[in-house]
Amino acid sequence: MILSVLNSADVTLLTSTFVLVKSLLFIIPQLVTQQYDTSSQLLFTSTQVPWIANYVLPRFLVWDTVFFIKIAQRGYIYEQEWAFNGWLWTGTIRVVGDIYIYAIAVIIIAHAFHYLAVVTLYIASTYVEKFIRPAKSNTVKKGRRSMFPLLSALLFIISPGGIFMSAGYSETLFAYFSFLGIVFREANFHVLAGVSFAITACIRGNGILWGIVFLNDLYESFIVRRKYGKSIGIIVGGSLVGAGFLSGQVFAYCRYCPGREWCEAMPPLIYKFVQSYYWDNGLFKYWRTWQIPNFFFAFPTWFLFYRSFQRYAGVSHLRPYVIIQALMGIMSLLLWHVQIITRVGTCMPLVYWYVAERRHEGLWEVRYMITWIGVQAVLFASFIPPA
């Protein structure tokens, strides 16, 4: 039933656009001649593989991906490595073979789940469209199908996450299971939605924010509508999200405790400690004059967060998505390294729905996304922020 909403012509267009964009994002890093960090080059030095592999991979797998590959190769050793996502992402790319197979696996997985996320967002958009009052420019004449799901999915292909959606980061896997959870929630399969969102919590700590969906739905079903039977599935689904988040924390606690200061905290959360101790995350800690360029990098994404928040804040059915997006935007501004919002925020569907709904008026956002991901690919391959 869920897959029946797919239109074959739309899927063909999505596939061809996906291949075109991904091809360009693969080529651009190879044109970069100067890298300002040699970490990835040190990984790929074997004389037993074609020279092209030693040329291509170091330009495509830089920044955090170097850590992902090493963790996948030999597991978590140092506690600071827990800053790089949850255990499920590195576990996903852990296949039998040497460093080159790990590297190729991470690229394939990133591309595959980006494509699956594109299709899944298309499906999710068909479910939520009825709750969104169409903008005048997007009004569909009788007998003609809506362009809203297609436009939303196309926009996700050129998401500001850009090169990070290709180069082995966990953003695509996280986005796929986020969108899948939304589809299941919209189809009233709350337990399956819980499974999907629980997987996001195993991939990254902020996946716990999807638990807000179940708190909202529990309030609606138990307090407002008094549908107590439905509440059971919602409670189970929400509990699964909590369990997914705790799984990584328990694993880390068993691995490093006692003996570390965070082990005595209540609750003992390794991710919170690592982000603060090793990466200096915290309230206003990133607000320094030398970080101003990174604030400029983040601003367009914040602006889209803000405008889509304004647009959908009054749509009751979308309330949990609005709250989650608002929290993510606030945390990125006050607590995080601000520039990561361009990739971490890719899982927020409201941005794509907002631009897709506006259609012709949203052309500047489309121009920004296309320009940004090209520039971003050059900066990424050169090992220049943002990352």
Distances (CA, A) of 60 to 158, 211, 281, 322: 18, 34, 27, 34
Q: In sequence order, what are the residues at sequence separation of 6 or more whose Cβ sits closer than 8 angstroms to the Cβ of residue 367?
A: none
Q: Consecutive sets of 10 residues in the chain, 387 residues long: mean pLDDT of each?
A: 82 97 93 74 76 80 78 78 70 66 85 97 95 58 75 97 90 96 96 97 93 96 76 95 93 90 90 87 93 94 96 94 97 94 94 89 88 92 78
pTM, rounded to two decimals = 0.91
- Give me 325's structure tokens: 């997006």
Q: Would you give the distance in Å from CA 83 to the centre of its chain? A: 16
pLDDT of residue 64: 78
Q: What is the chain's percent helix, strand, coil content, to nearest 5?
A: 75, 0, 25
Residue boundaries of the structural domains of the chain: 3-269+280-381
Counting every residue, how long is the chain?
387
Q: Which of 114, 216, 235 is nearest to 175 (CA)?
A: 114
Residue linked to tokens 């009054």: 314
pLDDT of residue 137: 45
